Amino acid sequence: MTRFGRFIARNFVLVLGFVVLLYLFAPIVVVMLMSFNAPKSRLSYTFDGFTVDNWLHPCRPFGLCDAVSTSLRIGLLATVVATALGTLMAFAMVRHRFRGRSATNLFIFLPMASPEIVLGSSLLALFVSSGFGGRLGFWTILIAHVMFCLSFVVVTVKARLAGMDSRLEQAAMDLYANEWQTFWRVTFPLVFPGILAAALLSFSLSFDDFIITNLNAGTTVTFPMYVWGSAQRDIPPQINVIGTAMFLLALIFVLAGELGRRRRERTRS
Amino acid sequence: MSAVGQLGAASQSAAPPPVERSGRRMTAYLLLLPGGLWLLLFFVVPLVSLLAASLYDPNGSIENGFSMTWHWQNFGTTMADYWRPFGRSLWYALLTTAFCLLLGYPLAYAIAMRAGRWKNLMLALVIAPFFTSFLIRTLSWKMLLSDNGFVVDALQWLRILGPDGRLLATTAAVVTGLTYNFLPFMVLPLYASLEKIDRRLIEAGGDLFAGPVTTFRTVTLPLSMPGVVAGTLLTFIPAAGDYINAQLLGTPKQRMIGNDIQRLFAAGAYPTAAALSVTLMAAIVVLVLIYVRRSGTEELV
């Protein structure tokens, strides 16, 4: 066997893993490539020519940037509300023992275990039957987004809290910190990465949601709804610009977090 | 996303804290109140109104309103009309779950056991696709699988596809898209449970003269079962309700139940759409309960 063959044999699983990662990344490469596309016709799915024009004028397709801004506003608001409510719930679940705790656990888990089409259609049924059928829009989308982000926030913050050493708080109390001081000086800073992760998760869930939003949006158009609408007619390359930009921003965020973590670890050791 | 991975992890590590004074117990209820109310008003109450809507008189319309006639027959008539897309949805979701497990397990194993210092980077790469919109990624599959795309060319050259064979607008395309979209939901819980396995147990398998295959089958795989159960559920459930992949990558022949529910709601046929939606939810709950019971891991939440 050649040296290369032996390497493959020894690291078979790792190689397989990389192949699967390639599968995960193939469409993203296409999105990046297509953001530089100069399509010949309006219904073109092929790469016809290179241009940076799309990047210079991302708002050219009518309504695209309005849709992005609607999605950003809903995403930010939903993130703030869901993160606040979900963090409170996570504290109750991990730090307190009360009657109905396991039932509450199930209750929080259920929305994550329901298909989006069911969540979306039941909300629509509620809005219609309570007379809000004609007023679907920004606020009904926001209500829906907070609802489905909430469970994900609880689970994320809960995991961080559960993995925390409660002796640190006991030590603070032993050193005569009162409950309030202990919370803000010890507990909160330790849980904060979990809250931040939950907020990021909420934002990306909200920004990306289509199925639930589409049922409860009325005439309001979010970014995914804009993409859906244009997929039926023509796909402006600027959509790929927005997709690539979002991806790069998130990547920078993740890399910065990872670098920060490594630096903290180095200074500690 | 990491939340999904921690689904299994959170449960086992969170032992309930000791019994508390009644004052502290009140604090717990206060903390739960705002979020709990939100879930009650916008998750539980809507499910009830969905159930109610499924029993409305099917002859009503948006203009004239719907009247509650306890029309249980709605379920029978909708199933008679829509059993094909319904069964197709469950079948596609099953295929998707199987492919996700097949692709996701090696990846999760590689990250948990072999990645070394690249572990965090590889995990970040699994999550990264989430940051480009779901719809945009599905649209780019449309391009990758198109008739003059290189995937079709390569498969034709390998004689896997005939010279007129195509991928787009087939079942294969829809399942490829579904598998792609839900793969991270499989990988993250699998990774979480593989990561927790005590390596010494695997070494012990080797010490007791078990080959790598036997060790995997008798030690690693059983210990990773909580991850397998969580991952398959998190893949199957959203896949069964999805209609984006069927719409963008398939034809009406690959239509899934989500397509019909969405179309009927948009057309104002609320009783029919609601009945389909309730049936989907009921089918999923029943399947999940059977599956969780049989796999013996009820400690999931």
Question: Could you report the per-residue pLDDT of B64-96, keeping only the tens digit for each?
Answer: 677 777 878 888 888 888 999 999 999 999 999
Read off the tokens for A20: 């699967």
Q: Sign of the CA dihedral B205, B209, B212, B217?
A: negative
Which are the contacts of A219, defined by CB distance < 8 A and separation ≥ 6? A136, A137
φ, ψ for residue A37, nearest 5 deg? -80, 140
Which are the contacts of A168, defined by CB distance < 8 A and separation ≥ 6? A186, A190
Which are the contacts of A151, defined by CB distance < 8 A and separation ≥ 6? A86, A108, A109, A110, A111, A112, B39
Question: How do residues B29-60 score in pLDDT, each as one tens digit?
Answer: 889 999 999 999 999 999 999 999 898 877 77
Q: What's the pLDDT at B260?
A: 93
A61 in contact with chain B, both atoms CB, cutoff 8 A: no
pLDDT > 70? residue B11: no
pLDDT > 60? residue B14: no
Report d(CA A161, CA A190) in Å as an integer.
8
Higher pLDDT, B104 or B208: B104
A63-235 CATH: 1.10.3720.10
pLDDT band for position B6 (50/70/90)? very low
User: Is there a contact between B17 and A94 if contact means CB atoms under 8 Å apart?
Assistant: yes
Q: What's the pLDDT at A171?
A: 87
Q: What's the pLDDT at B247?
A: 92
Interface of B with A in 92-121 (CB under 8 A): 103-104, 106-107, 109-111, 113-115, 120-121
Higher pLDDT, B3 or B198: B198
What percent of chain B lies above the pLDDT cut of 70?
89
φ, ψ for residue B235, nearest 5 deg? -90, -50
- Name the residue type at position A240: N
pLDDT band for position B63 (50/70/90)? low
User: Is there a contact between A28 and B114 if contact means CB atoms under 8 Å apart?
Assistant: no
DSSP state of B273: H
In angstroms and rounded to an integer, the radius of gyration of the C-alpha atoms of chain A is 23
Helix, strand, or coil (residue A50): strand
Q: Which residue of B has its CA nearest to A154?
A: B3
Tally Cβ neighbours within 10 Å of residue A38.
Answer: 14
A7 in contact with chain B, both atoms CB, cutoff 8 A: no
Report d(CA A43, CA A39) in Å as an integer.
8
Decide if B140 contacts A36 (C-beta within 8 A): no
Mean pLDDT, chain B, integer: 84
Interface test with A, best of B4, B13, B31 (most A CBs within 10 A): B31
Q: Which CATH superfamily hosts domain B49-295? A: MetI-like (1.10.3720.10)
Question: How do residues B154-208 score in pLDDT, each as one tens digit?
Answer: 788 787 777 777 888 889 999 999 999 999 999 999 998 898 888 888 888 878 8
Report d(CA B29, CA B116) in Å as an integer.
43
Residues of chain A contacting residue B129, judged by C-beta atoms under 8 Å apart:
24-25, 27-28
- Domain locations in chain A as residue ranges: 1-61+237-269, 63-235
Q: What's the pLDDT at B263?
A: 92
Decide if B11 contacts A90 (C-beta within 8 A): no
Q: Among B246, B222, B247, which Cα is nearest to B93's?
A: B246
Distances (CA, A) of B214 to A16, A19, B210, B220, B227: 20, 25, 6, 9, 20
Region of B269 please: left (phi>0), alpha (psi -120 to 50) or beta: beta
Q: What's the pLDDT at B50?
A: 93
Q: What's the pLDDT at A1?
A: 54
Report d(CA A9, CA A24) in Å as an integer.
23
Q: What's the pLDDT at B101?
A: 96
Quote the minimal CA–CA distance from A24 to chain B in Å: 7
Decide if B7 contacts B189 (C-beta within 8 A): yes
What is the mean pLDDT of the segment spanning B239-246?
A: 94
Interface test with A, best of B21, B26, B32, B123 (most A CBs within 10 A): B32
- Domain locations in chain B as residue ranges: 49-295
pLDDT band for position B10 (50/70/90)? very low
Q: Which residue of A has its CA nearest to B20?
A: A97
Q: What's the pLDDT at A255?
A: 79
pLDDT > 90? residue B107: yes
Q: What's the pLDDT at A183?
A: 86
Distances (CA, A) of A263 to A199, A200, A249, A269: 23, 22, 21, 10
For chain A, residues with pLDDT lower than 70 are 1-2, 5-6, 8-10, 41-45, 268-269
